[in-house]
Amino acid sequence: MTKISMKVNGKEVSGEVEGRTLLVSFLRDTLGMTGTHVGCDTSQCGACVVHVDGAAVKSCTMLAMEAEGAEVATIEGQANADGTLSVVQQAFQDHHGLQCGFCTPGMVMSATALLKDNPKPSEAEIRHYLEGNICRCTGYHNIVKAILAASGQLEGAIAAE
Amino acid sequence: MYEFEFVKPTTVADAVAALGEEEAQALGGGQTLIPTLKQRLAMPATLVSLTGIAEMKGVKAEGGTVTIGGGTTHGTVAKEAASAYPALAALASNIGDPAVRNRGTIGGSLANNDPSACYPAAALASGATIVTSSREIAADDYFQGMFTTALEDGEIVTAVRFPVPEKAAYIKFEQPASRFALVGVFVAKYADGVRVAVTGASEEGVFRWSEAEAALSANFSAAALEGLSVPADGMIGDLHGSKEYRAHLVGVLTKRAVAAA
Ligand code: FES
Ligand code: FES
């Protein structure tokens, strides 16, 4: 076992891992942060998406040791300091962008990464960006609508109806 | 996964030394290797991560050549090669999905040489030079069949040099579940001729379609390809598409690539 340290949602954390420990196992099992989900464990579904040094990655397909010294952001760190939801989270709630909620942590993290890069994405760009995030409930329509709304493009959201 | 030692050198020289140890294996972005390890299809004693090597990262354009560090992610190529070599950047921006593109690297893709991967088509059609920790290899000599390359044990792809063509385009017919190419065709037009590389189709991995190259070198238009086809023999046939279907796609996609270039 090796000790690793990183920042998760702005807080210094550390723990003992093996070479083969995945980043998602470090978050869920070592740190007890179960907001990041494992849907497939085969890098298909995107439920495990977190940000590492600002880039969206599938934490089921990255070794924990690769994140040594990194800044990691997870769904647990998305709400504002006063406990209110982030713009993206609020839009998912307002526009019914989730049903069972299993895919939602990854969807929110992917959507947040998209809007950081491209603050006013088109519907086509949103759908292209979400290719690695699978939702078995919503049919994606309200997820796309929520992201359009979060980017301040409500007109576009109505056009997507 | 079986347990392994993990090391993360910061220079190519240290990585080469670490790979000289018994049962050591290089780890790029891990987007193929980690799934392989999870299935226990490989059992390295040591994984040598290449992600900490700064000299292997980045995109440089100068004098008609784009040089990409072996450890550069697809996401970075999509952004940073966009003005110097747009067809290459467009190819990178359609590999996998955004999270995969933020980890997967060009060197990893070329070292693996998956028969359905996109980058081998770009490297072969561009007549790229694969720069390794010990030598330089022309793309024509580098690809040696499915999952097989000219790389020796412990040799690392440190950079890839692409001569920038006058015109180029890559069109892939995507396998929607994996987002790999069911068939992908890269067409590149240079002053001294046209090169056409096909991925996803052949049981021998990426290949050049020489009849199409000759026809397009004489007349760079989709019409020049009328009547040309590749034989279905030797194509991949599986549940996603028969040999005949793939052979047909090669013709269709080559025309589309020429039209898009
Ligand atoms: S759990 Fe990581 S992509 Fe599905
Ligand atoms: S809301 Fe159920 S999987 Fe997306």
pLDDT in tens, B100-120: 999 999 999 999 999 999 999
* Chain A contact for B208 (CB, 8 A cutoff): no
**Is B136 in the same domain as B159?**
yes
**Is B23 in the same domain as B67?**
no
Q: What is the CATH number of the domain that holds B157?
A: 3.30.465.10
Asked if the Cβ–Cβ distance from B8 to A65 is below 8 Å, we say yes
**Is B150 in the same domain as B197?**
no
Of B119, B136, B163, which residue is a domain's last?
A: B163
According to the model, what pLDDT value does residue A155 have?
65
DSSP code of residue A30:
I
Cα B184 to Cα A26, A84, A88, B249, B251, distances in angstroms: 38, 47, 36, 9, 11
Can you tell me the distance from the alpha carbon of B217 to that of B210, in angstroms, rounded to the nearest whole number? 10
**Is B128 in the same domain as B75?**
yes
**Is B133 in the same domain as B66?**
yes
The dihedral over CA atoms of B162, B164, B165, B168, expressed in degrees to the nearest 10, equals 80
**Is B156 in the same domain as B255?**
no
Among protein residues, the one whose CA lies closest to atom 4 of ligand 2: A135
Does pLDDT of A104 surpass 70?
Answer: yes
Q: What is the mean pLDDT of residues B24-31?
A: 96
Does pLDDT of A160 surpass 80?
Answer: no
Task: Quote the percentage of chain B above a pLDDT of 70.
Answer: 100
- Other CB atoms within a 10 A radius of the CB of residue B179 amount to 18
A2-76: in CATH 1.10.357.10: no
What ligand 1 atom has the least distance to the C-alpha of A48?
2
Q: What is the mean pLDDT of residues B145-160?
A: 96
Of B163, B196, B213, which residue is a domain's last?
A: B163
Instruction: Please say whether the beta carbons of B113 and B120 come within 8 A.
Output: yes
**Is B71 in the same domain as B35?**
no
Q: Which of A20, A44, A132 sits opposite B98 (nearest CB)?
A: A132
Q: Do domains A2-76 and A87-150 have the same CATH topology?
A: no
**Is B40 in the same domain as B114?**
no
3-state secondary structure of A9: coil
Ligand 2 in contact with A143 (CB < 6 A)? no
**Is B157 in the same domain as B58?**
yes
Residue-wise pLDDT tens digits, B62-89: 999 999 999 999 999 999 999 999 999 9
* Chain B contact for A63 (CB, 8 A cutoff): yes
Domain spans, chain A: 2-76, 87-150
According to the model, what pLDDT value does residue B220 have?
98
In B, minimum Cα distance to A69 occurs at B52
Joined tokens for residue B233: 């023999």
Segment (H or E) for B79: helix B74-80
Q: Tell me the residue range of the domain where B108 lies.
A: 54-163
Q: What is the CATH number of the domain that holds B238?
A: 3.30.390.50
Predicted confidence band of residue B135 (pLDDT cuts 50, 70, 90): very high
* Chain A contact for B71 (CB, 8 A cutoff): no
* Chain B contact for A43 (CB, 8 A cutoff): yes
**In 3D, which of B130, B124, B125 has the Cα closest to residue B194?**
B125
According to the model, what pLDDT value does residue A158 have?
56
Fold of the CATH domain A87-150: DNA polymerase; domain 1 (1.10.150)
Does pLDDT of A156 surpass 80?
Answer: no
According to the model, what pLDDT value does residue B58 have?
97
3-state secondary structure of B20: coil
**pTM of the prediction?**
0.94
For residue A66, list its beta bridge partners: none
Does pLDDT of B224 surpass 60?
Answer: yes
3-state secondary structure of A100: coil
Task: Tell me the chain A residues in contact with residue B27 when contact means C-beta distances shorter than 8 Å.
Answer: 63
According to the model, what pLDDT value does residue B176 have?
82
Task: Tell me the chain B residues in contact with residue A20 when contact means C-beta distances shorter than 8 Å.
Answer: 1-4, 37
Rounded to two decimals, the ipTM of the complex is: 0.94
3-state secondary structure of A142: helix
How many domains is chain B built from?
A: 3
According to the model, what pLDDT value does residue B121 have?
98
Task: Tell me the chain B residues in contact with residue A53 when contact means C-beta distances shorter than 8 Å.
Answer: none
